[in-house]
Amino acid sequence: MEVIKTSIDGLIIIEPHLAYDERGYFFESFSEREFCEKVMPIHFVQDNESKSSYGVLRGLHFQKPPHAQSKLVRVIKGAVLDVAVDIRRGSPTFGQHVAVELTEENHRQFFIPRGFAHGFSVLSDEVVFQYKCDNFYAPQSEGALAWDDPDLAIDWRIPAEKVILSEKDRHHSRLHDAEWLFDYNMKLY
């Protein structure tokens, strides 16, 4: 796997090495040993999968400590714009984001460490999205930010009138109004 650093420390794009032949392709989608050597020591405990249609926007979500989560995300079918926002007060990149297009063709994965809000918009007719988490889901620790916060200035690459949200995702606060965020000096691992 090739590790590609982004403009925000800790956010990593992973490109797998694919082996092609007349039958199709093969690749190792995850190796804990290689991930720990090249990215950071981590142990994922939960895998999740969602299926969505064009225009669905999920996010921007995070879990608060002690249930904060790192995520390793990828697309099995279709295409998304995957976004991570630094929500660690005091961080030199606080409020900045990285957006990565993940597709079934590029097989890229995106690693989002604890201390970031995460979301994605569906760019294809349909998408099957998978992610690994290093902590179990805990509904009492849910946190989220407004997907359309003008201070974040995220271009989700779908027209606002085509965005499909859950009822819950319609009512999140903007970054500067958030009641709870991470602290840059907080020990998260």
Tokens coding 102:
């993940």
Show the 3-state SS of 35-59: HHHHCCCCCCCEEEEEEEECCEEEE
pLDDT digit string (tens) for the chain, length 189 residues: 999 999 999 999 999 999 999 999 999 999 999 999 999 999 999 999 999 999 999 999 999 999 999 999 999 999 999 999 999 999 999 999 999 999 999 999 999 999 999 999 999 999 999 999 999 999 999 999 999 999 999 999 999 999 999 999 999 999 999 989 999 999 999
Distance CA 61, CA 169 (A): 9
Instruction: Kindly report the pTM of this predicted structure.
Output: 0.95
Residues with a catalytic annotation lie at 61, 131
Query: In this predicted structure, what is the pLDDT of residue 41?
Result: 96
Tokens coding 22:
């007349």
In CATH terms, the superfamily for domain 2-183 is Jelly Rolls (2.60.120.10)
Helix (H) or strand (E) holding 34: helix 32-38
CB 104 within 8 A of CB 78: yes
CB 69 within 8 A of CB 135: yes
- Among residues 15, 40, 30, the alpha carbon closest in space to that of 132 is found at 30
Query: In this predicted structure, what is the pLDDT of residue 33?
Result: 95
Query: In this predicted structure, what is the pLDDT of residue 31?
Result: 94
> How many beta carbons lie within 10 A of that of residue 59, not counting itself?
23
Pairing verdict, β 126-133 and 24-26: unpaired
CB 134 within 8 A of CB 54: no
Query: In this predicted structure, what is the pLDDT of residue 165?
Result: 98
Q: What is the DSSP letter of 32?
A: H
Query: In this predicted structure, what is the pLDDT of residue 91?
Result: 97
Distance CA 165, CA 188 (A): 29
> How many beta carbons lie within 10 A of that of residue 32, not counting itself?
11
Domain ranges of the chain: 2-183
- Residue 102, beta-bridge partner list: 80
